[in-house]
Amino acid sequence: MPVTTDIVRTWRRPRAVMRDLLDQGRREDRAIAYLMIACFLIFVAQWPRLSRLAAGFDLPPGADAPALDRLMAYEFMAWLMIWPLFLYIFAALTHVIARALGGQGDWYGARLALFWTMLATTPLLLLYGLTAGFMGPGVETRLVGAIWVASFLIIWVQCLREAESKA
């Protein structure tokens, strides 16, 4: 199935989608593609907020507005170089914890569960980026962020449960 169809299905039945992804076989190239696409989309989601900062909004009194190209370079480095490494380590730690709690899955399943969840929840992160860019810090932005965190945790736990139930 197309990735976009699987993303929509994930919001309704995350375990079924994770089962389908795992049944396609061990494909490290697909797992890292999910991760890198998710990280790139999260980077894109930062653009409205960074533009707002570069325009001088939401700065402390007396602070100079940072250059947009510098902000973009820092975010690019963070989301496409640093975060992927951290997320590989985080996926390994979650597998170790799941294993200690009786999980039967493998390292690949834990990685796929985390990376797929990141990709599946990026539409909500794109909305968060727009909200942060247009509305600035406030109740609306925090609400969208809280909905993303809750959605991410629910989908990720379900995907990880499915991945750890497979031997």
**Residue the block writes with tokens 């690949």:** 108
**Predicted confidence (pLDDT) per residue in 23-67, tens digit:** 998 999 999 999 999 999 999 999 999 999 998 887 888 888 889
CA distances from 75 to 39, 49, 69, 78, 84 (A): 10, 11, 10, 5, 13
DSSP conformation class of 78: I
Q: Which helix (H) or strand (E) holds 116?
A: helix 107-120
What pTM does this model have? 0.91
pLDDT tens for 111-134 read 999 999 999 999 999 999 999 999
